[in-house]
Copies of this chain bind each other. A is one copy, B any other.
Amino acid sequence: MADQEVDWTSHAESRIHEAGLKKSGPRGRVIESLAGRDCAATALEIDAELEGVGRATVYRAIEQLEELGLVQKVDLGGSAFGYEKVDPSGHHHHHIVCDDCGKVEPFEDEALEEAIHDIHRKGFKLEKHEVTLHGQCQDCR
């Protein structure tokens, strides 16, 4: 396990505690599962990985983590949403999805972030944004 994962895990546990929530084994396992991934996973993938943890618990844990800003929901273009840990530093990335095989890769782009930051829309208070690029990966070409 890399340092960053340890950081995110303990950061998440602290924030959970600060929010007045109790410690729990099943939720801890969901947090671990998210910590060990570089990019988005679906709720059902996590559920399948964690034997003995109920589906409802996985969804509940993800929801709580999302409310605390520890996890973000990302649309991968398919039928299910993906969820991934949010870097405490505020650093974030977007996604490239291969429309043939479904593979997802993270990417970052400074110019893109700036362009989005410069968008102002009358009456709308922007809170977050999501960019998904679609195409074909090397393997599928």
Q: Which residues of A contact B (CB under 8 A)?
A: 75, 77, 96, 98-99, 105, 107, 109, 111-112, 114-116, 118-119, 121, 123-138, 141
Contacts and interface: CB of A to CB of B under 8 A. Distances in A.
A96 B121 contact: yes
Contact of A111 (B96, B118, B121): B118
A133 B129 contact: yes
A110 B112 CA distance: 12
Contact of A125 (B75, B105, B135): B135
21 contacts: A75-B77, A75-B132, A96-B121, A107-B119, A111-B115, A112-B112, A112-B115, A115-B115, A116-B131, A123-B138, A124-B135, A124-B138, A125-B136, A126-B135, A127-B134, A127-B136, A128-B134, A128-B135, A129-B134, A130-B132, A130-B133
Contacts of A126: 96, 133-135
Nearest to A140: B125
